[in-house]
Amino acid sequence: MAFTVVRFIGLCSLLLGYGVHVEASHLVILHLQSHQNTTATHQPYRTGYHFQPAKNWINDPNGPIIYKGIYHLFYQYNPYGAVWGNIVWAHATSTDLVNWVHHEIAIKPSIDSDINGCWSGSATILPGDKPAILYTGIDPQNRQVQNLAVPKNLSDQFLREWIKPPQNPVMTPIDGINASSFRDPSTAWKGSDGRWRVIIGSKIDQQGKAILYRSKDFIHWVRAQHPLHSSNNTGMWECPDFFPVSVNSTVGLDTSVNGPSVKHVLKMSLNDKLHDYYQIGTYDLKMDKFVPVDNGSFNNGSDLRYDYGKFYASKTFFDSSMKRRILWGWINESDSEQVDVNKGWSGVQAIPRNLWLDKTGKQVVQWPIEEIEKLHEKPIDWHNTELKAGSVLEVLGVTASQADVDVSFDLSTLENAENMDPSWANPQMLCSEKGSSVKGSLGPFGLLVLASKGLEEQTAIFFRVFKPEKSFVVLMCSDQSRSSLGQDLDKTTYGAFLDVDPLQEGLSLRSLIDHSIVESFGGKGKACITARVYPELAINENVHLFVFNNGTENVRISKLKAWSMKKAQITY
């Protein structure tokens, strides 16, 4: 009997280095074979330079690593259809994180401890340059257990074959662990005592937990008496990620680094909210505990997020070749399941982002990896352009359906900024109430992307500046309310407060546009919003790009640079 169960599962397991599979929140469909594997010939929403396979469902990025100069990305994949199910670890490699070659499936059900599914996990590079993967498997009792996989042949730089040691599973849900909430091992790190540590996402009732395990040999793991961190009323913690960041530099750090000039980031994908939240704090080596700087608990209403739009089950890794920390995230669809079945695919990975600690120490900063700039062509360059109140200017000469746009606005004065109501604490709600069509004083101004010629369809990414009692507040919005004439679509408007000084720094906005994806970076990466949109008019050559100002005050475009983006080379 076929039936549907709505359940969000996020598995972000650590990769021990031999091939593991991970998965995150998703709609679970039983008897998926009943769905027809249809691939539509008309595909206006497939991306040109974002990572996606030729067909079928994908979700969480798993176990990204660099090995012998080759980047590896594993990800949750359904080989048989465009809805979640039959999950395995698919595998692709790259020399530049832009152009990819797909390989055979790396990890699939083959032993008792993963016979009902190979879910999310992470990779760790062990001494001697040996990759290892830890991933969540579903055993015959449908318990979530943790497995180890290692490369069959270390001389193969493409790591095309993975084996599973006979000691699997290496971690099981005993001693009060919820067997249905025990998943997504993180990348492992080594403590000062020489032992490896790893965290597993879990919950007891509504208390989310990062269960801590230790091991001397990466095979025999012992549960610590206390979690690395926990928070009440947060629900299931999926895809945990724990890594160091430098206080003094933008250079990335290996996952085992610690010291006085280091902070740590703990990220959780909250199943109940379907967003990725993080905290900045210190790692208490003696107690083996994470201590948030602000004593936060992931549920205080002002929690930090990597991305305030569609971005989930993210995973970082240390790129030892470039000395940087790279962040991946899964972008899911905003259309219906039946549409996904008809088009034959679902899910895309976000552009890899370089991540570091902001100089204030209050948040992380993200920026698209520099390698995507090799796809730039046909540059457009504006300088010192007045954007008068109520004006809309088209940016011509760029392929608007597949572009990279970077614009900076200067404000001469903030005297006429609107007053900020103290009750406006929720930026997403504020963006919904004050969308791009709602006139203000300093704003809304920004970009209209994936727009039709007559603006019947448009996705607006914009700023508003408010004047509270003490300092100015900058609101960044991504308004999808008029993104498509189509029905049965998620057209949520997203928002974030941006920690910048609009007079001293100006307001910068960079948007990566790719047919049905808009990844936007405000304030040089201090706030990020990813949107998924499906225009009916504004597709292919009928897409237009505009800058606009719907405020009553003039603003100045100090610079605008835009490029058409070449298609990434992805070999299936």
**What is the set of active-site residues?**
60
SS (H, E, C) 376-409: EEEEEEEEEEEECCCCEEECCCCCCCEEEEEEEE
State the Cα–Cα distance between residues 440 and 248, nearest whole angstrom: 39
Tokens of 566: 């070449």
- Output 317-323 pairs: Cβ under 8 A, ≥24 positions apart: 317/64, 317/65, 317/66, 317/123, 317/187, 318/243, 318/252, 318/253, 318/254, 318/255, 319/66, 319/71, 319/252, 320/66, 320/125, 320/254, 321/66, 321/69, 322/252, 323/251, 323/252
The answer, yes or no, to whether the previous bond of 169 is cis (omega within 30 of 0) is: yes
* Ramachandran category for residue 286: left, alpha or beta (phi over 0 → left; psi -120 to 50 → alpha): alpha
Is the link from the previous residue into 444 a cis peptide, with omega within 30 of 0? yes
**Phi, psi of 382, rounded to the nearest 5 degrees:** -115, 150
**Which residue bears the tokens 């902001």?**
358
- According to DSSP, residue 351 is labeled P
In terms of Cα–Cα distance, which of 523, 521, 555 is closest to 405?
521
Nearest CA to 170 out of 201, 215, 211 is that of 215
Question: CA 137, CA 112: separation in Å to the nearest integer?
Answer: 9
| Rounded Cα gap, residues 364 and 433, in angstroms | 28
Burial (CB < 10 A; 0-12, 13-18, 19+), residue 349, is: buried
> Identity (one letter) of the amino acid at 336?
S
Q: Are the beta carbons of 245 and 357 closer than 8 angstroms?
A: yes
Alpha carbon 228 to chain centroid distance? 23
Pairing state between β 418-419 and 570-571: unpaired
| Torsion sign across C-alpha atoms 77, 480, 529, 294 | negative
Extract the tokens encoding 266.
């703990």
3-class DSSP string for 8-40: CCCCCCECECCCCCCCCCCCEECCHHHCCCCCC
Going 50 to 54 to 55 to 60, the CA torsion angle's sign is negative
Asked if residue 119 lies in contact with residue 23, where contact means CB atoms within 8 angstroms, the answer is: yes
Local structure of 348: helix, strand or coil: strand
Contact 152, 116 (CB under 8 A): no
